[in-house]
């Protein structure tokens, strides 16, 4: 690194932060670290030292993550909230694409399809989703669940209400097949797959945790439910399935809200943050 000139080094996870700090030690540059998870650090003192000594600025992907950092003792002035953006689809899936997508998974036009995409880890709450499905299945005979992703918590349910196809490279067809998206996370820094679902015109049921409460608006773009509560999730799914007109309206507003979080906006805010860090450096020297 010493043979090249850099003004900014940006690390996007904890390991990269360690490497960048060692590689750039003594160089006249600004180090930036991203924080994307909302759970409290296991070792607050080490965490506080690391963010104080190895970087000059921190980008949190939500206000919730910023709050966790401040609670750990990181100065608020060092933290900038910049939500990750997405590319908004130019148009929603048409009837033909929707029918093809549903047929791929064996869903009929009469089925009410609930979907989720994410790594199968405990914090993502797929076990909560499956338990909720067992609760609402007797009352929603046409309900089907599609849980996309892979990981250590992935299990094959025996009831037949849920399909677990594993990891998918392209989620466009997945979103096209859905009537409703759920995010049953126990912890969530932001919720990028939920944002993409909203961009595809889907209402979202999310747990009232982390960045999800900043993204999903209760009674406007979907429902917020307590974490780790299969009954609450089941009740919200039943409410969504029982009122197609409201579900459609929530989806319309969700797409409008998703448009506020574009990749272009994320780039713009990141560049502004870089510029302020460099200006502060020049002032200090």
Tokens of 177: 């097949």
Q: What is the pLDDT of residues 73-101, one digit of tens each?
A: 889 999 999 999 999 999 998 999 999 99
Q: What is the pLDDT of residues 253-272, one digit of tens each?
A: 999 999 999 999 999 999 99
Q: Give 179's contacts (C-beta < 8 A, 6+ positions apart).
A: 112, 113, 114, 202, 240, 241, 247
Q: Are residues 162 and 181 in the same domain?
A: yes
Sign of CA dihedral 100, 88, 170, 84: negative
Q: Are residues 49 and 118 in the same domain?
A: no
Q: Does residue 1 fall inside a structural domain?
A: no
User: How many whole angstroms separate alpha carbon 217 and alpha carbon 57?
Assistant: 30
Q: Are residues 81 and 104 in the same domain?
A: no
Tokens of 14: 């904890």
Indicate the pTM of the whole model. Answer: 0.91
Q: Does residue 90 fall inside a structural domain?
A: no
Q: Does residue 32 fall inside a structural domain?
A: yes
Which pLDDT score, from 0 to 100, does residue 24 have? Answer: 85
Q: Say how many domains are in the chain.
A: 2
Q: Are residues 74 and 111 in the same domain?
A: no
Average pLDDT taken over every residue of the chain: 91
Q: Are residues 103 and 19 in the same domain?
A: no
Q: Are residues 162 and 36 in the same domain?
A: no
Q: What is the pLDDT of residues 168-225, one digit of tens each?
A: 988 999 999 999 999 999 999 999 999 999 999 999 999 999 999 999 999 999 999 9
Q: Are residues 36 and 125 in the same domain?
A: no
Domain of 114: which CATH number? 3.40.50.2000
The 10 Å Cβ neighbour count of residue 233 is: 29
Range of the domain at 176: 95-258
Q: Are residues 227 and 269 in the same domain?
A: no
* Percent of the chain residues past pLDDT 90, beyond the cut: 74
């Amino acid at each position: 690194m010493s043979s090249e000139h850099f003004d900014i080094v940006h690390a996007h996870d904890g390991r990269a932060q360690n490497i960048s700090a060692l590689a750039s030690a003594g160089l006249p540059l600004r180090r930036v670290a991203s924080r994307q998870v909302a759970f409290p650090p296991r070792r607050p003192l080490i965490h506080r030292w690391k963010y104080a000594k190895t970087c000059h600025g921190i980008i949190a992907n939500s206000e919730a993550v910023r709050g966790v950092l401040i609670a750990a003792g990181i100065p608020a002035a060092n933290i900038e909230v910049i939500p990750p953006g997405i590319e908004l689809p130019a148009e929603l899936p048409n009837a033909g694409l929707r029918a093809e997508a549903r047929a791929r998974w064996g869903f009929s036009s009469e089925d009410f399809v609930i979907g989720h995409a994410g790594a199968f880890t405990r914090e993502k709450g797929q076990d909560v989703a499956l338990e909720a499905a067992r609760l609402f299945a007797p009352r929603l005979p046409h309900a089907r669940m599609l849980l996309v992703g892979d990981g250590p918590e992935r299990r094959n349910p025996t009831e037949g209400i849920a399909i677990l196809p594993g990891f998918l490279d392209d989620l466009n067809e997945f979103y096209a097949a859905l009537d409703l998206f759920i995010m049953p996370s126990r912890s969530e820094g932001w919720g990028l797959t939920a944002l993409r679902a909203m961009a595809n015109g889907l209402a979202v049921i999310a747990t009232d945790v982390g960045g999800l409460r900043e993204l999903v608006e209760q009674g406007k773009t979907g429902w917020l439910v307590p974490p780790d509560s299969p009954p609450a999730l089941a009740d919200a799914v039943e409410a969504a399935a029982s009122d197609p007109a409201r579900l459609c309206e929530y989806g319309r507003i969700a797409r409008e809200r998703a448009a506020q979080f574009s990749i272009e906006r994320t780039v713009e805010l990141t560049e502004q943050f870089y510029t302020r860090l460099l200006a502060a450096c020049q002032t200090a020297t």
